C-alpha cells in the first residue's frame, strides 16, 4: 500500500479521500488555490501546497505545478477525485511518464469513453443497447439540423466530451435548433475545450439508472448494483438512491451484465459508472460511462457496506478486488441529496456569499454528511456551489425516506440561499414516496415545487422579540461591567420610564412590519403583539385583537439555542442574528425578521425597466446587441456565465439599446448594470 498520496482536487471529495487514506495510515498532500487557502481540505491534509490563483484553469488544472508538488513531497500516487483532472487521459499519461500511479483507470480507457460518440460506436459492436442518434464527426450546423430532423424531434444535444449536464440542450422542434446548438457548443467549449456535439432521440420521461462497476488489474470485474439518479435540475442530479426502485431480478441481471460487458470492452480498471436511460417499458439504453468515482458513490457504499475509495487504493496498488461478485450483498436502502448554494426560485442561479451559520444533522449509522464546507466559509464564483452531500440509510425505502425527511429538516444554512426547502418539498411529494420517478419529475411537479406564500408565525415573532430583549439586556450588562458602573441607572436595560411601566416598542419586519411592545419585569417580559393574520396562534381566542403574552427564557450564544416559556408553554428554538436580521428556526421552519427603524426614510427601488442588472457575478461570454440597435421584446441581448452556467439577458420590451457597458470577457458583479435600455 502507498505511504503518501497527493489529492488533485478540492472540497468535499478531497476530504472524503483523506478520511479513508488516513485510516490506512497513508499521508495526504493537498493542493489549493489562493481562494482556498483556509478551506477544510487544506486543514485536513498532512501537507498542503498552493498551486495558483483562484481560477481553476490556473490552479486545479495546472498539471505541471501539481506534478511538481507530487515529486517534491515524495507522493507515490495521485488521486484525482471527480471533476477537474479525473477523466483527463493526458493527465493520466503524464502521471505514468513521471512514474506516479494514477488512482483511476488507464488513459486508454479514459480516452475510449471520454468521447461519447466514440464510446457508442465501440459499445455498438459489443451489442450494448444504444439510444438512436448521430455520433459522427461531421459538425456543420446544416448537417446536424438534417440529422436531428431524421432522428425525429424532440432531440437531445450533448457535448461529445461532456458530463454533469454541461453542453446539453433539449430541442423540441426545428425552429429552436440553431439557437440551442450555438448555446450548447459555447458551453461545451468553455467546459471541455471542445464544441463537438452528438444528437440523440430524446426519450420522454425516462429514468436515469446507473450501475457501479469495479475492475482490478487481474481481469476481475464486478458490479455493486445500481442507483436511480432521475431527480435532476438542469440535467444535474440532486437526489440519488440505491437500489433503484422497482427493479426486477431479470432487469437488474440484464442491466448489470451490459455494464460489465461495457467495462470489459475497454479493459477497464478501477471505479466506473455505466449510465443508462430506462423507459416506461423497462427497455434500457447506454448513455455514457463515467471513468471515475461518482459524486453519488456513498449510496452504493451504504447498501453494500463497502468503502469504494479503499477499493480504489487497493486496486491502484496492484491488489485484487476485495470481494468477488457472489460476496457483494445488498442490504437496505439509501438516499443522497446534494445541498447547493443556489436559488431554486430564480432558475437555480448560484448564490455567492458568506456562510455565517451552518447546522448539520448528527451523523450516525443512518446519517452521513460528506462536505468540504464549514461555517464562515465563502461560496465563490470560481467553483461548484455544493455545500454538502446528505446521505441516509434505512432498512427499506420507506424507512430511508423518513430518515431523509428528518435529516433535511435539521439541516440549516444562513448567509447564502440554498436548495434545502426545494429538497424538503420534493421528498414530501406523494409521487416521490411512491417512487414514480423520471428525469422530468421536477417540471412535472412545478406547481407543487413553486415557492409558497408564508405567513408570519406568532411563535416565531415572539421568540425573535424575546431574543432581542435578552440581547439588549446582555449588551447593557456587559457595558456596565466594562465601565464598572453596574449600579448606574444609565446601564440598566429595563426600559425604565418615570411614572410608567418599563416598556419599549421593538419594530421587526418580516412579511409585514410588526410593532411589538416589550414590558420588562423582574425575571420575564410581557409581549404585546399587533393584530395580524398569523400562520399559527398561541391563543386562538385573541385572533381579532392584540395578543399579550408572558414570556421568559435563556439564550446560549454558543449553539444559538433559545429556551423559552410562552404563556406557560415551554419550547426550544435556534435563533441566529446576523447584520440586521434575526432568523428563528422552530418546528423545522425558518422565519427571518429584520430590525426596522420607522423614523428613517427609505427611498423606493430606483431600478427601472430601462436598466437590466446582473443576477449573479460572472463573465460576459456573448453580446448579441450593439449600441443603437432596435430590438423586439424577448430578444437576447447578452449572456453571462458563472460556474459554467449560462444566463441570458433579454429585452423586457420592444426598444433601443442605449449603452452596452460590458464586452466579451469582462467580469461583472451581482447587480452590475449590463444594458441601458430604452423602451
Could you give the residue numbers annotated as active site?
A: 292
- Residue carrying the nine cell digits 482490478: 216
Cα separation, 396 vs 335, in Å, equals 11
Report the DSSP beta bridge partners of residue 639.
622, 648
Contact 198, 116 (CB under 8 A): yes
Cα separation, 328 vs 321, in Å, equals 11
Peptide bond into 296 cis (omega under 30): no
Q: Where are the beta strands (DSSP E) in 432-560?
A: 503-509, 513-520, 525-529, 547-556
Cα separation, 210 vs 569, in Å, equals 50
User: Residue 46: phi, psi to the nearest 5?
Assistant: -75, -35
Largest CA distance in the chain: 94
Where does 418-501 have alpha helices with state H? Answer: 420-428, 430-433, 441-444, 446-449, 458-483
Contact 196, 160 (CB under 8 A): yes
Cell of 538: 398561541
Cα separation, 439 vs 228, in Å, equals 10
Sign of CA dihedral 546, 551, 555, 560: negative
Residue 11 three-state SS: helix
Cα separation, 347 vs 590, in Å, equals 22
Cα separation, 245 vs 453, in Å, equals 33
Q: Which residues contact residue 302 at a Cβ distance below 8 angstroms, ignoring those fewer than 6 apart?
A: 242, 332, 334, 368, 391, 393
* CA distance between the termini of the chain: 68
Cell of 341: 448554494
Contact 315, 270 (CB under 8 A): yes
Residue 368 three-state SS: strand
Cα separation, 225 vs 213, in Å, equals 8
- Residue carrying the nine cell digits 478551506: 39
Cα separation, 106 vs 88, in Å, equals 10
Cα separation, 619 vs 638, in Å, equals 11
Cα separation, 34 vs 322, in Å, equals 39
Cα separation, 226 vs 255, in Å, equals 9
For 120, which DSSP code?
Answer: H
* Antiparallel, parallel or unpaired: β 412-414 and 561-566: unpaired
Q: Which residues contact residue 564 at a Cβ distance below 8 angstroms, ignoring those fewer than 6 apart?
A: 462, 463, 466, 551, 552, 553, 570, 571, 572, 573
Angle (CA) 104-197-237 rounded to 5° is 55
Total residue length of the chain: 679
Give the 3-state secondary structure of 243-276: CCCCCCHHHHHHHHHHHHHHHHHCCCCEEEEEEE
Amino acid at each position: 500500500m502507498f505511504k503518501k498520496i497527493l489529492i488533485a482536487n478540492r472540497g468535499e471529495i478531497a476530504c472524503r479521500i483523506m478520511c479513508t487514506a488516513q485510516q490506512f495510515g497513508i499521508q495526504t498532500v493537498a493542493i489549493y488555490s489562493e481562494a482556498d487557502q483556509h478551506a477544510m481540505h487544506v486543514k485536513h491534509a498532512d501537507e498542503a501546497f498552493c498551486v495558483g490563483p483562484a481560477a481553476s484553469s490556473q490552479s486545479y488544472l495546472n498539471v505541471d505545478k501539481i506534478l511538481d508538488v507530487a515529486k517534491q513531497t515524495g507522493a507515490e500516487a495521485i488521486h484525482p477525485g471527480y471533476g477537474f483532472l479525473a477523466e483527463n487521459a493526458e493527465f493520466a499519461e503524464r502521471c505514468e511518464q513521471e512514474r506516479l500511479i494514477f488512482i483511476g483507470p488507464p488513459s486508454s480507457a479514459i480516452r475510449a469513453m471520454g468521447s461519447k460518440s466514440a464510446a457508442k460506436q465501440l459499445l455498438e459492436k459489443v451489442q450494448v443497447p444504444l439510444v438512436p442518434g448521430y455520433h459522427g464527426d461531421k459538425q456543420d450546423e446544416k448537417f446536424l439540423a438534417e440529422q436531428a430532423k431524421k432522428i425525429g424531434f424532440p432531440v437531445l444535444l450533448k457535448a461529445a466530451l461532456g458530463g454533469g449536464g454541461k453542453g446539453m440542450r433539449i430541442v423540441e422542434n426545428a425552429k429552436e435548433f440553431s439557437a440551442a446548438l450555438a448555446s450548447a457548443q459555447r458551453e461545451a467549449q468553455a467546459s471541455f475545450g471542445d464544441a463537438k456535439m452528438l444528437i440523440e432521440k430524446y426519450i420522454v420521461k425516462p429514468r436515469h439508472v446507473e450501475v457501479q462497476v469495479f475492475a482490478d488489474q487481474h481481469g476481475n470485474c464486478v458490479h455493486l448494483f445500481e442507483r436511480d439518479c432521475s431527480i435532476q435540475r438542469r440535467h444535474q442530479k440532486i437526489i440519488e438512491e440505491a437500489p433503484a426502485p422497482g427493479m426486477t431480478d431479470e432487469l437488474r441481471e440484464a442491466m448489470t451484465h451490459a455494464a460489465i460487458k461495457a467495462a470489459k470492452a475497454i479493459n477497464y480498471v478501477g471505479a466506473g459508472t455505466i449510465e443508462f436511460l430506462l423507459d416506461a417499458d423497462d427497455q434500457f439504453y447506454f448513455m455514457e460511462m463515467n471513468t471515475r468515482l461518482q459524486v453519488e458513490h456513498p449510496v452504493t457504499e451504504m447498501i453494500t457496506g463497502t468503502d469504494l475509495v479503499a477499493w480504489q487504493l487497493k486496486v491502484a496498488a496492484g491488489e485484487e478486488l476485495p470481494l468477488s461478485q457472489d460476496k457483494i450483498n445488498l442490504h437496505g436502502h439509501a438516499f443522497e441529496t446534494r445541498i447547493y448554494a443556489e436559488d431554486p426560485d430564480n432558475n437555480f442561479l448560484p448564490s455567492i456569499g458568506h456562510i455565517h451559520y451552518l447546522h448539520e444533522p448528527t451523523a450516525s449509522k443512518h446519517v452521513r454528511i460528506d462536505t468540504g464546507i464549514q461555517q464562515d466559509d465563502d461560496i465563490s464564483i470560481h467553483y461548484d456551489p455544493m455545500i454538502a452531500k446528505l446521505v441516509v440509510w434505512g432498512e427499506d425505502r420507506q424507512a430511508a425516506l423518513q430518515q431523509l425527511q428528518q435529516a433535511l429538516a435539521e439541516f440549516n444554512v444562513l448567509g447564502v440561499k440554498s436548495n434545502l426547502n426545494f429538497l424538503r418539498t420534493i421528498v414530501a411529494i406523494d409521487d416521490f414516496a411512491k417512487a414514480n420517478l423520471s428525469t422530468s419529475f421536477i417540471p412535472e411537479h412545478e406547481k407543487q415545487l413553486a415557492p409558497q406564500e408564508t405567513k408570519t408565525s406568532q411563535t416565531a415573532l415572539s421568540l425573535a422579540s424575546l431574543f432581542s430583549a435578552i440581547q439588549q439586556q446582555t449588551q447593557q450588562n456587559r457595558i456596565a461591567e466594562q465601565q464598572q458602573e453596574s449600579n448606574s441607572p444609565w446601564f440598566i436595560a429595563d426600559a425604565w420610564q418615570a411614572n410608567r411601566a418599563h416598556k419599549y416598542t421593538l419594530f421587526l419586519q418580516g412579511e409585514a412590519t410588526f410593532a411589538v411592545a416589550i414590558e420588562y419585569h423582574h425575571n420575564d417580559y410581557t409581549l404585546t403583539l399587533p393584530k395580524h393574520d398569523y400562520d399559527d396562534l398561541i391563543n386562538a381566542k385573541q385572533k381579532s385583537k392584540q395578543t399579550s403574552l408572558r414570556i421568559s427564557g435563556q439564550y446560549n450564544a454558543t449553539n444559538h439555542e433559545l429556551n423559552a416559556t410562552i404563556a406557560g408553554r415551554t419550547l426550544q428554538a435556534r435563533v441566529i442574528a446576523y447584520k440586521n436580521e434575526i432568523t428563528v428556526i422552530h418546528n423545522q421552519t425558518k422565519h427571518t425578521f429584520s430590525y426596522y427603524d420607522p423614523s428613517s426614510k427609505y427611498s423606493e427601488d430606483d431600478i427601472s425597466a430601462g436598466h437590466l442588472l446582473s443576477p449573479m457575478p460572472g463573465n460576459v461570454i456573448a453580446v448579441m446587441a450593439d449600441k443603437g440597435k432596435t430590438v423586439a421584446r424577448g430578444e437576447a441581448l447578452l449572456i453571462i456565465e458563472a460556474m459554467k452556467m449560462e444566463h441570458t439577458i433579454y429585452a423586457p420590451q420592444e426598444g433601443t439599446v442605449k449603452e452596452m457597458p460590458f464586452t466579451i470577457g469582462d467580469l461583472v458583479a451581482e447587480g452590475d448594470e449590463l444594458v441601458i435600455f430604452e423602451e
